[in-house]
Chain A
Amino acid sequence: MKGISYLGTWVRNWYSIFVNELRLIFSDSGVMVIFFVGGLLYPVLYNLIYMNGTVDEMDVAVVDNSGGAYSRRFIRKVDATRECNILIYCASMEEAKALMQKGTVHGIIYVPGDFDSRLVRGEQGVISTYADMSSFLYYKCLTMGTNLTMLDEMHQIQLERYTASGMDAQAAWQAVQPVLSDESLPYNKPFSYTIFFISAALLLVIQQTMFYGESLLAGTLREQNRSFASMPGKLQGLGIGRVLLGRGAAYFSIYMVTGTLIALLIPWIFSLPQRGEWTDIMVLLVFFVVDCIFFTFTWSSLITRRETVFVLFLSVSPICLFLTGFSWPQTSIPEFWRYVSYFFPSTFGCRAFINLNTAGGSLALIAPEIRAMTIQTAVYYVLSSVSVFIENKVIENKEKIDRLKDKALELRGIDPDEARKVIAGK
């Protein structure tokens, strides 16, 4: 009998906490803005900014001191690549460099005077390239454009030379390329910035908006001395489970909706690759959202005032993004930071999403990430229980602590009454 009535109370408490949390969320415009506007606005904005994704037809200047058939053919071929556009022929390097400094061109191709005569003699011709390093994409464009041209031109000249030395065309072709290669870049053929950036950022938006929004709410409640952690004395701190699960259910129900929009609708609207099964992505979302909830509960216990979460933790977002290994490769991340990355759900969630959605993997493939998120969830659940317990104790002994704080101020030579006038919230 006792067991049943305990269960009944538990469910009733849980339900009232759940409803109360939903009411708190929906009556706070700041939290609503972060959850719904922020959560959906950021993906849309980033898609607009990175709409094109690649730098094509980057403007390049040419200084051609040779002016022969070979150099002209080389330049024409560079012009024909997707990466480069020959904007202008300059008379001197000085002129070309001045254009690059002004930002008119982002690369220079310099052909020395002896280029053609050397090639005609059967020797090596040298072409110099100068890349504007103010952005890595400029460097990539010039490197790709000139290297691909160089390879193509190299094969053509080789063919000419071999046939000139008496080989027939077939034999020459076989001699030029004894080994052929087939490339396959299955997931992001054009090295598009959009595909690579947005795939990594989408799930991070879920984690970060949840963290900022929930912290905003928790900070507000703490400012107004009505923290969720203040539990009725008769429970003696035993109600932690239903507090956490009740509040968690509120965030879960909201984030399964926005999360679905972010992970499924946004890629569809902007025609990003969606190679995974939507059911698999939903499974990933469930694990990820639950993980984020307890991650948020744990870390937001550091937030005592409404707005401080932004001031303190906004710069964590780009750090989390780099820790997913989306740009700087996972295998090159220093050991220390690899351990730090294990603190964040995004490290596993974003990787799993990239592998599942964009590379088209299956659930079995992301099993290690799912496992990691499950462990994280368990650890953060325990930690957030501990933090609620401690906060409850702090609230119970609030007067004592306040007196200690005043004493500390007096020791530093500050009058607590004067401080109260200037510093708010007391």
Chain B
Amino acid sequence: MTGKFVKVLRREFLIILKRPVYILSSVGVLIVNAAFYTTFMKDGLPHDLPIGVVDLDNSSTSRMFARELDATQLGKTVWYDDIHLAREHMETGKITSYIVIPEGFNSDVQSFRQPHIGYYVNSLYFVGGALAYKDILTMVNLTNGAVQREVMRLKGMNEREIMGKIQPIVLDQHQIGNPAVNYGVYLNGVLLPGILEMIVILITIYAVGSELKYGTSKHLLKTAGDSMVTALVGKLVPYNIIFTVLGITLEMLLFQWLKYPVKGSIFWMFLDILLLVSASEAMGLFIVELFPVLRLAISVGAIISVLGFSLAGFSLPVEAMPPYVQGFSAIFPLRHYYLFHVQETIWGSGFAGWWKEAVHLLLFLFLPFTLIGRLGHAYKYQDYERN
């Protein structure tokens, strides 16, 4: 038994050595993706978003307003003489938004005639639009505060009284789990494990399905002494080693080297990623058992792993999806990884918080056992079409 097992293992290592696709599509793909997403959003939050200013007043007050907008961390002003050009540039995404300061702005402010500042935001470019919107809104209110302060100082009020009048209510905002509002922390923490899930599902299907496609499954069964379990376990162990190393390295990268906040323990995150890897492997195996035709299985695996990103619910929350879609989210391992991740990194809840998700992920492991006979039949007789 063990002799046979070792033979299958050696056979699999030979395949991995001979065909670069296995290492390229696991280690290679994860490295490329990790490098992409972590450097792409390395600033955490975008800054110096271009905000157009059409100053029709050209007074010291309007210039000061634009300069202060420029001085905010989020914004960077771009000057326009003409509204049409500003609008064109906003339409094409060159600037996130633009403000129009009307003629007579200065004199209207001085004499309390309440001039209107118009601002136009392109919210098709989501993050940039939302941030620019917030930045402009803040600046308009700060300007109002500044004008009031000048008036009250002239009236001889003290600063404490003035602040009470200018800003009677202050919001003290806290962001639990991501105090710096870092977009990378939020996105990469789930997106990169999602890429790993995709890698695991696809490679599992490809490795198991290739035996069928290229007609080598009989040779595999013979090596394993006609035991389907020995064959599959021996075949998947080498990949399991690769995926485990990748998973642990990924969590180390996120929480140790990039210092993404984790309230609980990084060791529980190791557990989380190991469960994700195992569940995805089981999922991949189940798919190829269900469709013992490589190209069909791999297409299904591709669709499932791409949908996994959306249905994990970390971008648009699951409860905001239509009811008939919500239930489907449970069949994606990434969904449970994400809920586990929230409990551990944001709340540090430990076992009490995430045990249900761990159980859900473990349940995936039963999937392949239900159809192992079907794949065994296909391996033995090779009676499905190959191409």
Contacts and interface: CB of A to CB of B under 8 A. Distances in A.
Given A179-B115, A186-B120, A131 B317 contact: no
B245 to A, nearest CB: 18
A146 B170 CA distance: 11
A120 to B, nearest CB: 11
A355 to B, nearest CB: 5
A192 to B, nearest CB: 8
Interface in A103-132: 119, 122-132
B144 interface: yes
**Majority SS at the chain B contact face:** helix
Contacts of A365: 88, 91-92
A6 interface: no
B177 A132 contact: yes
A327 B309 CA distance: 15
Contacts of A38: 299, 303
B176 A178 contact: no
B109 A179 contact: yes
A319 B41 CA distance: 12
- Interface-central residue, A129, A151, A191, A310, by most chain B CB under 10 Å: A310
B195 interface: yes
A331 B90 CA distance: 13
A262 interface: no
A205 to B, nearest CB: 11
Interface in B63-100: 88, 91-93, 96
A189 B123 contact: yes
Contact of A175 (B151, B209, B310): B151
B323 to A, nearest CB: 10
Interface residues of B, number: 127
B242 to A, nearest CB: 13
A334 B37 CA distance: 11
- Interface-central residue, B17, B173, B353, by most chain A CB under 10 Å: B173
B183 A307 contact: no
28 contacts: A30-B295, A45-B307, A50-B310, A52-B321, A101-B343, A124-B163, A126-B169, A126-B170, A129-B171, A131-B174, A133-B186, A135-B186, A140-B130, A143-B173, A146-B171, A154-B169, A185-B120, A193-B316, A195-B124, A308-B25, A312-B24, A315-B195, A329-B96, A330-B128, A354-B125, A365-B91, A422-B18, A423-B214
Interface of B: 11, 14-15, 17-19, 21, 24-25, 29, 32-33, 36-37, 39-43, 46-50, 88, 91-93, 96, 109, 112-130, 133-134, 136-137, 140-141, 143-144, 147-148, 151, 160-161, 163-178, 181, 183, 186, 191, 195, 198-199, 202-203, 206, 209-211, 213-216, 219, 294-296, 298-299, 301-303, 305-307, 309-311, 313-317, 320-322, 325, 338, 342-343, 346-347, 349, 353, 387
